[in-house]
Structure 1
Amino acid sequence: MDSRQLTYFVALAETNNFTRAAEKLYIAQPALSMTIKKLEQQLGLCLFSRNERKVELTDEGKVLFLHAKAIIQKINDAQTAMAELRGLEKGEVRVGIPSMLGSYFFPEIIMGFKSQYPHLKLSIVEAGTQSIRKMIIDGELDFGVIINHDLPDSLHPEPLLKSQMVAVVSENHEFSKYKSLSFADFFNQELVMFKHGYFHRETIDSICEKYHFTPNISFETNLLAMIFKIVRQDFAITTLLEMVTEYEPKLVPIPFEQPILLDIVMAWRKTGYLSLADQAFIDYVKQHCCQQ
């Protein structure tokens, strides 16, 4: 069993299709089929169940998949480390950022970092907390910005900032003059919310579960511009990070009577390798936060 066999095995396990896996690997399909067959013969186990449309991992295959993913990630980390010892920087930072922070907190940081390190490439993925966590664990991202809640033991959190979630209404809404808002009043209104998987929605869902509220969600969207328009035109109200409302006209932020404070961190795999480029970006973000 070698790294090439494991790479082919993981590609097939992730695509469930020989043709798509071969295309992903840039090899001929017969070569992939032969490699998988040889791997199964070496192990004396059937790793995939096959039918006309797709292949699926057997129970034995699922066990190997967990180990194979970890081994391949370790090999990639080792290659990056050795390249840097030869003076060949990785040259790319892969980071996951939620949409609200990506739109209102990180643009200045990203442009400043790029000005300081013009030869490094920034690959930014906008996604929800759950997706970012998974992509970090799977090695698809070097690190990401997430909420420090139910963090897997495999991830290391680095404090980034604390921010308050507030109710947000239009200037004409009856709540616009309120100094604070109860959860009961908020959940009695029609709401526009992010979809499941985003910390915005996770926070609301956890409050509902804790206090036994049933939210009246009229709209679900991850598009900030659409959320703003729906709220401004009084079709619904929402919750956002307080920092967002500082930049958006005709929106009124209202703190909750029971404040919602979020602990936002940068996180990466404890056993993962941070390249020089990754570490430079993390240090730059930390320096920027200290100046706020």
Structure 2
Amino acid sequence: MSLSIRQLRYFVATAEFGQVSQAAIKQNISQSAITAAIKELEQTVGVTLFNRAAQGMELTSSGRQFLSHAYEILSKIDEAMHLNVINSDVEGELVVAATYTVIGYFLPMHIERIRRLFPKLRVQLYEINRESIEEGLLANRYDLSVLLTSNIQNPMLATETLLTSMRRLWVPARHPLLAKDGVGLKEVAEEPYIMLTVDEAAQSSLKYWSKTQYQPNVILRTSSVEAVRSMVANNQGVAILSDMVHRPWSLEGRRIETINIKDPIPGMDVGLAWRSGNALTPPMLAFRSYFQQAFGLPGVRTGT
């Protein structure tokens, strides 16, 4: 049995949404087709990619490794299918600003690919916070930004979301919540909580907590993702963070599991931003075209 592009796309959609039903909606296909494709894919690769539970589809450690390969394969396929669309001869300088999370967990691989695709394009990269990025884009100090578009506030900026990274509960191995059929914010509120603060993570989390009668029992606020990872792995608390920054092992080599939360938790949107109304230069168009092809984007959302 051979691996197919269809199987990969269905697998990625299910991994990103954590629910077969949502993946089916995204792919405009039946749930049974998604389920069958994933089963065939697991038989082909010879490993279990998901743990099936009442709260959804949870990636196994093998599934997380395979997801990375699936992204790579689909990206290469999209790149090959659009070889005649992108003009690799584009040249010039592009000044790009990015936030901490994007620099650390998303952008480096894509910058390397962009430099291969456009050898004459010079990308000058800066890491700064969201407020400074917004001000810098409006002042034309930066051409483009790659950041958490869900945090953008200025209506004078155009944004284009590349992906939505699901937020899930992080717990240590053998945590009691792993045995529950359903886990919501009520159960999370009963646990010691590690609150990440970088890139407005605390403000983002309080937005969905504030819609409930519960509050997190915060025992530590930190700007370090690695500190959260280590604290959770060592059974000091739990955290709700996105799949993009998740790694199954701490620096000490201890396991970190994830749980789908039954309450509505918004995903973390990652994408591009630029000053609305600005004409996109050839370097800007090349940069944007790369991401459009890599992620199959819908239309642009612009400020009013």
Question: Do they superpose with TM above 0.5?
Answer: yes
Cα separation, 2, equivalents of 1:235 and 1:104: 24
- Report how far residue 110 of structure 1 moved: 1.5
Greater Rg by CA: 1
Cα separation, 2, equivalents of 1:233 and 1:154: 44
Question: Which residue number corresponds to residue 187 of structure 1?
Answer: 189
- Report how far residue 251 of structure 1 moved: 1.2
Going from structure 1 to structure 2, the CA distance change for 1:115 and 1:178 (only over 3 Å counts) comes to farther
Of 268, 279, 283 in structure 1, the residue corresponding to residue 285 of structure 2 is: 279
Structure 1 consecutive aligned stretches of length 4 or more whose deviation exceeds 6 Å: none
Deviates more, 1:156-165 or 1:173-182: 173-182
Of 229, 240, 256 in structure 1, the residue corresponding to residue 261 of structure 2 is: 256
Cα separation, 1, equivalents of 2:295 and 2:266: 17
Question: Which residue number corresponds to residue 164 of structure 1?
Answer: 166
Q: Unmatched 5+ residue regions in structure 1?
A: 1-86
State the AA in 2 paired with 1:259: P
Q: How many residues align?
A: 203
SS at match of 1:159: strand
Cα separation, 1, equivalents of 2:206 and 2:126: 24
- Report how far residue 281 of structure 1 moved: 1.3
Q: Give deviations 1:63-92, integer Å, cap 9, x for gaps.
A: xxxxxxxxxxxxxxxxxxxxxxxx995413
Matched, 1:214 2:220: no
Cα separation, 2, equivalents of 1:185 and 1:126: 36
Matched, 1:238 2:239: yes
Going from structure 1 to structure 2, the CA distance change for 1:274 and 1:169 (only over 3 Å counts) comes to same
Going from structure 1 to structure 2, the CA distance change for 1:92 and 1:257 (only over 3 Å counts) comes to same
Question: Which residue number corresponds to residue 46 of structure 1?
Answer: none
Going from structure 1 to structure 2, the CA distance change for 1:139 and 1:160 (only over 3 Å counts) comes to same
Cα separation, 2, equivalents of 1:219 and 1:181: 22
SS at match of 2:257: strand
Of 78, 96, 99 in structure 1, the residue corresponding to residue 98 of structure 2 is: 96
Question: Which residue number corresponds to residue 148 of structure 1?
Answer: 150
SS at match of 1:252: strand
Q: Give deviations 1:245-267, integer Å, cap 9, x for gaps.
A: 36647111111112323244322
Cα separation, 2, equivalents of 1:167 and 1:134: 33
- Report how far residue 185 of structure 1 moved: 1.4
Taking structure 1 as the reference length, the TM-score comes to 0.60
Cα separation, 2, equivalents of 1:185 and 1:157: 35
Quick check: 1:180–1:254 contact (8 Å CA) kept in 2?
A: no
Going from structure 1 to structure 2, the CA distance change for 1:104 and 1:210 (only over 3 Å counts) comes to same
- Report how far residue 193 of structure 1 moved: 1.8
- Report how far residue 171 of structure 1 moved: 0.7
Question: Which residue number corresponds to residue 71 of structure 1?
Answer: none
Going from structure 1 to structure 2, the CA distance change for 1:258 and 1:231 (only over 3 Å counts) comes to same
Cα separation, 1, equivalents of 2:216 and 2:118: 46
Cα separation, 2, equivalents of 1:247 and 1:140: 38
Taking structure 2 as the reference length, the TM-score comes to 0.58
Question: Which residue number corresponds to residue 85 of structure 2?
Answer: none
Cα separation, 1, equivalents of 2:134 and 2:192: 30
Going from structure 1 to structure 2, the CA distance change for 1:185 and 1:289 (only over 3 Å counts) comes to same
Quick check: 2:185–2:261 contact (8 Å CA) kept in 1?
A: yes
Quick check: 1:166–1:240 contact (8 Å CA) kept in 2?
A: yes
Q: Give deviations 1:78-114, integer Å, cap 9, x for gaps.
A: xxxxxxxxx9954133131341x43333332121112
- Report how far residue 272 of structure 1 moved: 3.4
State the AA in 2 paired with 1:175: L
Cα separation, 2, equivalents of 1:88 and 1:110: 15
Quick check: 1:93–1:278 contact (8 Å CA) kept in 2?
A: no
SS at match of 1:257: coil
- Report how far residue 119 of structure 1 moved: 3.9
Q: Counterparts of 1:38-57 in structure 2 under 5 Å?
A: none
- Report how far residue 123 of structure 1 moved: 3.4
State the AA in 1 paired with 2:294: H
Cα separation, 2, equivalents of 1:189 and 1:288: 39
Measured on the aligned residues, the alpha-carbon RMSD in Å equals: 2.9
SS at match of 2:220: strand
